[in-house]
Structure 1
């Protein structure tokens, strides 16, 4: 599967778009996809970083005009000029506030499907899938912006967080001492000097400041950090996960690092440095995920110092922020988005005798048995006999689902009277909670209807407390009765 990602970075828009797209690209590559980037080489572009991560970049020089809604056609023309002749992709993913439905419709010349990453809901989209990872994302925000057929991935469950941020929870100490400060790749709001001035008025702190790329306040930051024991100043670090894990408190913007520190449970003091950050920062504060001070232009040194002092000495508040953040962001969002994009390429094959151990271990897993109609532990001899009988039964279809990185799960169809079948499925270890069930159902249904062309309906039985399966079948178009689900095919 081939994917093209359209995203830019610059000293004015920051590096957030390319950073989160790199995270998604790595998740897609882990699932076997071939990923390339398309970028305009604006001042502060990240072409080298993308290529160092192992991805091909199709790039063009900055035009006289900056990319904007009114220049979508010029952007398409520039993209067409750098792509190989007859280039074709399964998906084009666009993460760009200056491109809208017109660009997306034109980009179908390069791809079968279009995915959009958005935070603003301020323009129309012509997409097959939309991702808004923000806490305040909702169906209502995009009600007039998308077609009904567009699949929505909304909220921090889909936050694009690198696997390195899926570490153990940080345990807040009684008195916080280690402070990490970062306002993104470019401190466009000039928050770093104010933050360091505020910290300078507090005793006994270890401070690490990440200035970003090409900081305009470089000399001032050096002066503020000079001679202070335990203070460090860096332009850039490549070990941010380790530095976050070692910190007691984070001070920064409501950008991409929001989800990284949430996944680690790092207590945070947040300031919004762009208009598009304000809504999400406020929603997260209401949800108890961090302390939010407001827009950068409204935050002065005394307010910063007072808020920092409050958090440093209040272990209970920091613990509350940490627990709430980790309950909402588990760090697996990029894998979920990758599954949503790649699900249609899931391969299903008939089960074989040599799959006996795979099926046994998958079905006997405690999490699977807990959600099964028959929850007792399996026994190996009986399982072998069951598999032999199943493979010989023409009224039963047992399938194994596989992705590029290995087996995903199993789905079984049992033929019933009245041109019906019953479906049951389970996922293998490590596949839970990522959205594979939806893909497994869709691909399995196609196989069942190919096996039995006269099928009129498929039913499923689900335990009433199995919320994951209830949501799965309802989302797949099954209609719930008091005890079961069924899906009736339209002639």
Structure 2
């Protein structure tokens, strides 16, 4: 699979767009995808960081002739000029399977034109304020799931949407144990993004001057406009550390008892760790999400940096320092929102239209034997008994010889993910599905069902109806089939009169 990512970073835009796309790119690359980044060479671009991590990069012009000077990061780019620049940079490369665009300045006009470069398009958005012409859209913010269908007016009904923190693009290390909530805050971590154009790290330094007992890590970067002033402040305080470059930001987060930062991409990293947070938004697109999370009891939100009273920040730090129950409540509520597997879910969704099912053979006997006897499969099977090897082999041989039965396996670059069985009677088939060990929870079930339907249309075109039987208390499978478009058609009653 070939993937092209169009995103920018700069002193004004920040690094968040590149950071989350890089997380997804790393997961896709593990699955065998070739990923290329196309980025404008703006002041503070991150092209070299991408190169250092082994990615092919395409440098686009810093400015376009039609572009407004000093425009806001949400202002539309001259979309045709951007398309022309991208075409020149690609220089007639073969089409990509996916083009992922994560940019506030590009909308449906750019996306329609960009179909010349890729078979399918995905947009990453936070704003829900402009039209898109894509096949898949991701908005990982809590505001996207808390609002009532925020993208309906901006999308084609056929576009798949992935909304909310369940799909937050996070690195693998955030699938981890939460931090311990101490009786009193001892260590604080302060970060407001890769560039901190709002100068909020410096403002937080000033607020923390009276807390001599706290150990504080400030992560700002030497491009910060207040860098020299911050260096002077840090020199006078042995408990303070000012970081220009951090190779292990995750490690700093694990050591912290309190985070002071913005409402951007680290929101979900903090949530995964259960790290209590004092949040200050530094961009318009962060405000709604930060406010809704505060109303849900996830963090303490002080509003936008432009209107923040410095004394209010001091009071908030003092409150959280000594209030363990409040910090514990923040930790529990935030952890419930994320599990760190969002990037894997998106990778499955991107891969699903491309990979194909294959027919089972006798060489798959051991794979299916172990899969069928796995505890998570037997738990919800109508016959939960262990199957012995001889019985399994005999069943497999009969199944492979039965023209009314299809046994299909979904394979990826990292091995098989699950099995589908279809039993046909005239225009109807009954489907059975299970996933192999370690494959649950990231969308492979829906991907298998969707691929299975394509397979049926090609090989059994006479089939009109697909049926499935599920145990009444198997909530996971019920949800799976409902999300795949299945409807409950009838009631099934059963009475056991002898369970010996």
TM-score by length of 1: 0.95
How far is the alpha carbon of 1:183 from its aligned partner? 0.5
3-state SS of 1:171 partner? coil
Aligned equivalents of 1:402, 1:28: Cα separation in 2: 15
Cα distance in 2 between the residues matched to 1:10 and 1:256: 16
Q: Alpha-carbon deviation of 1:167?
A: 1.9
The offset of 1:477, in angstroms, is 2.6
Aligned to 1:361: 370
Partner of 2:288 in structure 1? 279
Find the residue that maps to 2:298 and give its secondary structure: coil
> Separation in 2 of the partners of 1:99 and 1:453?
41
Aligned partners of 2:8 and 2:45 also within 8 Å? yes
- Which of 190, 195, 204 does residue 186 from structure 1 map onto? 195
Does the 8 Å contact 2:123/2:138 carry over to 1? Answer: yes
**Structure 2 matches for 1:207-356, cutoff 5 A?**
207-356=216-365
SS in 1 for 2:333: helix
Cα distance change of structure 1 residues 108 and 431 upon mapping to structure 2, 3 Å threshold: same
Matched, 1:204 2:213: yes
Q: 2:470 aligns with which of 462, 467, 479?
A: 462
Checking the alignment, whether the CA contact within 8 Å between 2:138 and 2:163 is kept in structure 1 is yes
> SS of 2:353's equivalent?
helix
CA–CA distance in structure 2, aligned partners of residues 200 and 363 of structure 1 = 61
Contact 1:120 1:276 in 2 (8 A): yes
The corresponding residue for 1:22 is 22
**Which of 461, 474, 478 is 2:482 aligned to?**
474
Name the SS of the counterpart of 1:281 in structure 2: helix
Tell me the CA shift for residue 86 of structure 1. 4.6
For the pair 1:97 / 2:104, whether they are aligned, the reply is yes
DSSP-derived class of the 1:109 partner = coil
> What is the CA–CA distance in structure 1 between the aligned matches of 2:40 and 2:176, rounded to whole Å?
34
Query: What secondary structure sits across from 1:271 in the alignment?
Result: strand
1:431 aligns with 2:439: yes
Alpha carbons 2:199, 2:224 under 8 Å: kept:
no
> Which residue of the partner structure matches residue 451 of structure 2?
443
C-alpha separation in 2, matches of 1:452 and 1:216: 65
Contact 1:462 1:483 in 2 (8 A): no
Give the aligned partner of residue 12 of structure 2. Answer: 12
List 4+ stretches of structure 1 deviating above 4 A: none
Residues 1:114 and 2:121 aligned together: yes
Residue pair 2:61, 2:85 contacting (<8 A) in 1 also? no
2:382 and 2:25 map into 1 onto residues whose CA distance is: 38
Name the stretch that deviates more: 465-474 or 338-347: 465-474
Q: Distance in 2 between matches of 1:446 and 1:275?
A: 43
1:251 deviation in Å? 0.7
In 2, Cα distance between equivalents of 1:326 and 1:277: 20
Deviations 1:447-486 (A, max 9, x none): 33444332221111122332332232223232222348xx
Q: Structure 1 residue 79: deviation in Å? A: 0.6
- Structure 1: tracts of 5 or more residues without a match: 485-491
TM-score (norm 2): 0.93
Contact 2:6/2:37 (8 A) holds in 1: yes
- Counterpart contact for 1:271–1:294, Cα < 8 Å: yes
SS at match of 1:29: helix
Superimposed CA distance per residue, residues 19-47 of structure 1 (whole angstroms, 9 cap, x where no aligned partner) = 11101111111122111011110111000
**How many angstroms apart in 1 are the aligned matches of 2:338 and 2:344?**
13
Measured on the aligned residues, the alpha-carbon RMSD in Å equals 1.7
Distance in 1 of aligned mates of 2:408 and 2:359: 5
